[in-house]
Chain A
Amino acid sequence: MITALWIMVALAALLGLILGYASIRFRVEGNPLAEKIDAVLPQTQCGQCGYPGCKPYAEAIAKGEADINLCPPGGEEGIHKLAELLGVEFKPFGENAQPKPKAVAFIDEETCIGCTLCIQACPVDAIVGAAKQMHTIIASECTGCELCVPPCPVDCISMLPLEEKLTNWKWRYPVTPLKLSK
């Protein structure tokens, strides 16, 4: 009887040690769920969700602090993806968070005074310029977050919606006529 007890205790201690070691040795860096959520988010870094970037929002969702319908740039599809990932119900956008067509910022170079305020605001370093020099947007890097628009003292930044061109044209969903019943 006592031998059996000792064996069980020794086994428990050994397994505990192994588990303890494994939890240190194979520790997962960061929050894997937050990273998965971050991968779904559109990475505009616009802060429309109320968090300072996509990663903080992903972390907040992972902790259960934030709703999944706060990201307008992700569109309804983004909410669907998040709902699927988290196993929760789809939730439509609130009234003040409606998705807008994709756009990129454009600086009117005639008006720009070179104050660098927009450069400091841009979360992805998509604005080139220096103090008292004209600034310009690298359109291919711009996420359309609009964070550069309010700081501009001369209102020279406008958001241009992305136009469909030959290079980004897509085949439309086939619309086939239905057969009329006689």
Chain B
Amino acid sequence: MALSGDSFKAIEMRTLHHFHGGIHPPTHKSQSTGTGIATLPLPEKLVVPLHQHVGNCAVPEVRVGEHVLKGQRIGRPEGRQSSAVHAPTSGTVAAIDMQTVAHASGMPDLCVTLIPDGKDEWIAHAGVDYRNTSHTDLRHMLRDAGVVGLGGAVFPSDIKSYSRHHKITTLVINGAECEPYITCDDMLMRERPRDILRGAEVLRELLYADEVLIGIEDNKPEAIAAMRKALEQDGHQHMEVIAVPTLYPGGGAKQLILVLTGVEVAAGVRSTEKGVQCFNVATAWSVWRAIAHGEPLLSRIVTVTGNVEHAQNFEVLLGTPVQELVAYAGNKPDTGRYIMGGPMMGVDLPNSSVGVTKATNCIIAASPALFPPPQPALPCIRCTRCTDVCPAELQPQDLYWFAKSNNFGKAQEFSLFDCIECGACAYVCPSHIPLVHYYRYAKSEILVRDHDKRAADLARERHEFRQFRIEREKQEKAERLAQKERAAAEAKAKAVTELPTQVDPAADADDTQQLRIDAALARAKEQAAAASPRNTELLTPEQRSEVEAIEARRAKIHKIASDAGADDEPPKRN
């Protein structure tokens, strides 16, 4: 390929960096790259989870029985960190309920079950020219289109495409795809490179990044060629496709950033603080579809491989049951379980009827022959092979020891949260210890404890404030009372000084008070005499006679009562 002088110089000048460790597992990628991306026929039903992203679960916006169009929003994003969910095709909402989802826990989550009507009828949608649209509007479009990181982390892209406090120098587009078996990004780059680069351009614009580096592992020459060709074709500026050495886990965001830019990102630090942001190629593609065409994220490319007749990539509607997908690829009868993701970091699916989500990049049908059950774990011999391969430069054998003995404080001290769970340590472990499982266990325990600690701190604060408030209310009440008493005393004093004008000025305070009481009593008596029972007026003669009869009875009872009272017996009431 002829290179122009400038780009040749740029490639010459770039020096790649290395991350620590890494492994070379068999890639098994060629099995699924033989044929292009195929489309699956519309499935019988779609089970679309409303929580397919990091953050708050989307709130259902449709009702059971409602007819929805393709691309219609069925889940509204809730809160700052959330994303929308859409109907992948037109059809009728059959149920909104808790169903088992594609998650390691095998627990149910809120899902919308959609029965497609077969028409695949789009809702009205239109894209915008990103150059003439404000960045805020663009980010709103991404959020409303449900665009999240498709590399597996499913973090809302609208949040990632915003950096107010830090200048972004480099935008990394991740096409490394280092994990064995997975080829969905490879095929996407081969078949749709132009839209990926356009999406990258939008993201560069949103982040005001100086340059875009697209990192692709050198075991994907077709993808690299296709991307380079598209780059020249569309004349993208400040953009470069870089082949990086094939080394697992070179596709981890932190590892790729290190290889391309030399910037190391520690746990708890965002890469934006170091001036770098990273998006997956499929995310960039979805960004372009959402912005330029107004198409929300309805489907994704999924590699179906392993124990199937035709390992291949499919463009799959979100919510498609995994069993339909593998059946279409020619599932073999001895498939025992299904792995979502790759063999290194993937998780076993609870069953084959769960729906494909935004995080599903690969489904591996696993047979006992292909993936034999793990060998029994032996004691750790502290050979430190895991240390040699750890890309995060941790001490996996120590972390294992701490996690195993529930010594979580120590595990945190040894930077457990820098672990990216790549599984390189477990891959080389001669004792077959499920190391990553131990780290995941320790991490989730620590997170729960942190949560409990925060809850306890909040409870303490609320309790202390409550006590403070009760004390304050008591004081305020006492103050009010004191004020009232003061006011009353003042009023009295005022009355005392005023009264002597009416009465004998020589009389002392006690006398004036007595006089006032007498006057008040006289007034009350007068009023009582003036008032007459209201409800005895305007009565008919019958009512009047009835009242009189009652009065007579009452007088009689009074008489009996007073007689009985003489014998010290209380009168009986009836």
Contact = CB atoms under 8 A, between A and B. Distances in A.
Nearest to B373: A177
A124 B458 CA distance: 9
Most buried by B among A44, A123, A126, A170: A170
Interface in B324-354: none
B200 to A, nearest CB: 33
B441 A174 contact: yes
Contacts of B448: 168, 170
B463 A53 contact: yes
B51 interface: yes
A124 B105 contact: no
A157 B440 CA distance: 37
A174 B51 contact: no
Given A45-B463, A53-B463, A176-B377, A170 B444 contact: yes
B376 A177 contact: yes
A38 B465 CA distance: 16
Interface in B444-471: 444-445, 448, 451-452, 455-460, 462-463, 465-466
Kindly state the interface size class of chain B when it binds its partner: 20 to 34
Contact of A173 (B101, B104, B109, B441): B441
Interface string B384-417: 0000000000000000000000000000000000
A50 B210 CA distance: 64
A172 B441 contact: yes
Interface residues of A, number: 30
Nearest to B435: A174
A173 B441 CA distance: 6
Given A165-B107, A169-B105, A170-B448, A124 B441 contact: no
A43 interface: yes
Nearest to B437: A174
A179 B374 CA distance: 11
B420 to A, nearest CB: 16
Nearest to A176: B377
A179 B432 CA distance: 11
Contact of A45 (B51, B443, B444, B459): B459
Contact of A171 (B108, B444, B455): B444
Consensus secondary structure, chain A interface: loop
Nearest to B458: A141
A112 B107 CA distance: 33
A65 interface: no
Nearest to A53: B463
A164 B437 contact: no
B459 A44 contact: yes
Interface string A86-107: 0000000000000000000000
A114 interface: no
Contacts of B455: 43, 143
B438 interface: yes
B101 A171 contact: no
A155 interface: no
Contacts of B452: 42
A143 B438 contact: no
A174 B101 contact: no
Contacts of A67: none
A54 interface: yes
B2 interface: no
A125 interface: yes
Nearest to A145: B459
A170 B445 contact: yes
Contacts of A141: 458-459, 462
B557 to A, nearest CB: 38
Contacts of A55: 460
A126 B458 CA distance: 11
B441 A125 contact: no
23 contacts: A38-B460, A43-B457, A45-B459, A53-B463, A123-B463, A124-B463, A126-B462, A141-B459, A166-B51, A166-B105, A166-B107, A166-B108, A168-B448, A169-B107, A169-B444, A170-B444, A170-B445, A170-B448, A171-B444, A174-B434, A174-B438, A177-B377, A178-B376
Please list the 3 inter-chain residue pairs (A to B) with the smallest Cβ-Cβ separation, ordered nearest first: A179-B376, A43-B456, A176-B377
Interface of A: 38, 41-45, 53-55, 123-126, 141, 143, 164-166, 168-174, 176-180
